Amino acid sequence: MAAQSKIPQATAKRLPLYYRFLNNLHLQGKTRVSSKELSEAVKVDSATIRRDFSYFGALGKKGYGYNVEYLLGFFRKTLDQDETTNVALIGVGNLGTAFLHYNFTKNNNTKIEMAFDADTSKIGETIGGVTVYHIDEMEDRLKNVQAVILTVPGSVAQPIAERIVKCGITGILNFTPARITVPDSVRVHHIDLAVELQSLVYFMKHYPNAL
């Protein structure tokens, strides 16, 4: 799909958001949606939505809006909804436990298959339907896993990251305060709670009333 490689990263980041909302509309029996409705629901301004959608070849009609089913079909293909990605979670503390209770499969084909922790008292437990294994079993068990959610203490994030990269993991959702260094072939998305909070405060002060 040559067209996809032309989608700007900022647009690509909003795809899962659009998909999720349109899927909900579809489940409610809605057949069309205006960019204004979309804008209010996903909190992205409608000019940006129209530009994003033009990259997908979807052009809304005045007074009609967008066809929900067409868009969903396009997004499903684009987001590879039919192919499940196996995910492991490493670090079953409070944050890790919150992730295990989160029902990821409800809206997409991403599934947490297993969890790991160093605390032997947690080994063998099932949380949110996911079994917790000892962290030293990672090398044996990560064979069919592509992505990892990292919720270990920041102090061990780097050595754990190096171990999982050796297991062939190509994507890491890093929820630790530590930034990790991995080969370029591994995609890392970092969500740092302190940075998110500081960023909110900065925008509150400097960009009030902005979308």
Q: To the nearest whole angstrom, how small is the minimum distance from the Cβ of residue 115 to a copy of itself?
A: 13
Query: Is residue 117 helix, strand or coil?
Result: strand
Q: To the nearest whole angstrom, how small is the minimum distance from the Cβ of residue 62 to a copy of itself?
A: 26
- Between strands 130-134 and 171-174, the pairing is unpaired
C-beta of 62 vs 204, nearer to a copy of itself:
204
From 110, 102, 160, select the one nearest 135 (Cα to Cα).
160
- Angle made by CA atoms 1, 173, 176, in degrees to the nearest 5: 160
DSSP code of residue 61: B
| 94 annotated binding-site participant | yes
Q: To the nearest whole angstrom, how small is the minimum distance from the Cβ of residue 27 to a copy of itself?
A: 15
Which run of H or of E encompasses 86? strand 85-90
- Between strands 187-190 and 171-174, the pairing is parallel
Which parts of this chain interact with a copy of itself (CB under 8 A)? 4-5, 9-10, 12-13, 15-17, 19-20, 40-43, 78-80, 85, 87, 93-95, 97-99, 101-102, 104, 106-108, 110, 146-147, 149, 170-173, 177, 179, 181, 184-185, 187-211
C-beta of 69 vs 192, nearer to a copy of itself:
192
Binding residues for NAD(+): 91-96
